[in-house]
Structure 1
Amino acid sequence: MKRLLIVDDEQIVREGLHAILLKNFPELEIEEAKNGKIALEKADSFMPDLVLMDIKMPGMNGLETIQKMKEKNQNSKFIMISAYAEFEYAQSAMKLGVNDYLLKPSKASEVVQTVSKVINKIKEERRSQQESIIQQYALQKALTIVETDVVTQLLFDHVHEVHLDELVELLGTPMTNEKFVISVLLPQNSENLYAEIKQRARKIGNTWVGALYGRQIPIIVFRQKADSFRHQAITLAREILSVSREREGWFIGIGNVCDSLEYIRQSYQESLIATKNTSLPVKYRFYSDIPLEDKRIDGYNPKKLENQFFDQIRNGQWQNIIKEVSELIGFFENKGVQVIEAQQRVLELLWIASRVLNEMGIAPETPLYSFQINDFRQLRSETNQLLNQMWQSHIEYHNQVEDDTIKQIRQYIIDHSHEEISLDSIAQKYELSPIYISKLFKEQLGVNYITFLTECRLEKAKKLMLNPDKSLKEITFEVGYQDPNYFSKVFRRTVGASPTEYRKSLLGAKV
């Protein structure tokens, strides 16, 4: 129900307008005021949508009253009523945002026509505001999906140059030149804490929170210039750890700072390596704080080898892995390294392999040597057995994914591309790791997941463009985008022309 306030010092005018409006707009709730002061008092509680305001009144005139009303309620609309037709009144009124102007005496038809026009404007604005609220909600929901997909692309090497810039722009996070990654390791069966962790991360600073992989959550953190790296990271780690009083099973690894998103993957891998020893009393650790070995071994670069291991495990290069680990054991033997030290160094690599398999959705047994290693022959034999067990876990997991699973996922994306879908949501539906789905998608279909999703959406957009009655804004929402500017940018970079240009050529060719 719309609320209308009539303000005029002449009672006969107020009663006449009231009768005309009530007859023609029975849905209106109407109040009256005989001067500006009473009008202001009524406006505070009545909150009128529309005010019919006389210009000339004793005390506070109509223009002054409007000015004070608008200070309290910017949404009210105003129609000026006066026996004076001087231009300066109308000019002053328009500056105040008055929507229309009536002269005394006005015919009933003129009053109805003028009020009807403004009421329709109020209805249209409210409809537009409601649509905007719905679209903003949908955009915020979509941004959460965009955020996890961007993190997945950056950290697991699925970056596509056509989309990354636009996705980063769409997220709107104030980016800084320096950034780093923290990896949050959760206790078992604590997936319900994900939303709270995400909220805590955003509370502390500019972050992108990735999806939950196994028991770990990767978070990209943008450096704050006003704070030191260590203080910012520790503050964030403590805030996340405060989600639960129980610290058992929790641990946070913190990677080094890098100055480009291209190298963010290395910071992520460092953050994972920093979680190797979760038994520390303080439940977070910087990669840079991992102590160097007391005894250096010439020709052995553990950090380089660890980073290489990440890629080989993700790509399933098990034969290379077994060969290189065997060569590493031989290297230690030739260098005269004690067996117990060589065993510890190899075990750290096996731990990395286990953690990477876990993030892919594979749950191998914890790599442990079954007995005390006495010589390098035993170390080589036991290590090969542990690596083969991991390889077998990888094979079994891969075999669970039937040949037609990716085809099913492909069809699902085609059918639901207009909806808010992401790697994470698809992974939950098919009970697979999002990283693993992305890997299989590229291997079996030869195209990146997000590229395929974009192609599906743009193909639908092209078909909808054949209908001249549909606006480009409508098409944007119908194909699954929540921001017309983002849709336009992706369309131009993928198709080579803006949506408007493409549509003109399309409709021109059809004609």
Structure 2
Amino acid sequence: MLSARWGGSVYESADGKSALERYRSLKPDIVIADIKMPGMNGVEIAKEIRKNDKNTRIVITTAYTDNKYTLEAMELLITRYLVKPVSTKELFTALAKCVTELEEINPDSYELRPGLLYNKWTKTLTGEEGEIKLTNIECSILEVLIEDRGKVVRYAKFEDDVWNGEYMSKDTLRAHIKALRSKLGGELIKSSKSIGYMLEFYNYQNNQ
């Protein structure tokens, strides 16, 4: 996932099916897929992603120049369609466009309250006295709350998006929420008994 404009982690898969499984578990910001892969091709992967996800940026690489692939890619909101061999310059141009689109979809920073900013690209929380350290799990929890700000986020969503579908006890989540609350200050995170948690920005309209 991109943690800064040109930073982040890179994951690879040997075939299309395992690539789709990795997408579902890791939720990357950018997917680069080839038209011709064992098990499932790049367009099929893109179709699966687009069933529920319009935000992840997708780059397709191929040795083919058939217009039917280009047209299909356009319908799937593909950021770039690259014909192999792909040069370093072409790849970086495609990635730059992906980052620009991601930044347009999701702003860099969110003002949680006056003087308290969270930047989702650099994973930093900054207060009036400087940076406030967050753990990786606290960052993930905060980003889930920001995504659905003003709404109650159910326990199942935390389990899916933060714990990647693995078992998460309510006590474990509660402990992380308690630690996050102490760092955010105030009552930004509200509890909804037996349902989940909600993030309330001090001025919701400023963060839409």
Q: TM-score, normalised by structure 2?
A: 0.49
Q: TM-score, normalised by structure 1?
A: 0.21
Larger radius of gyration, structure 1 or 2? Answer: 1
Q: Which has the higher strand share?
A: 2
The one of the two structures with greater contact order (alpha-carbon pairs below 8 A, sep at least 6) is: 2
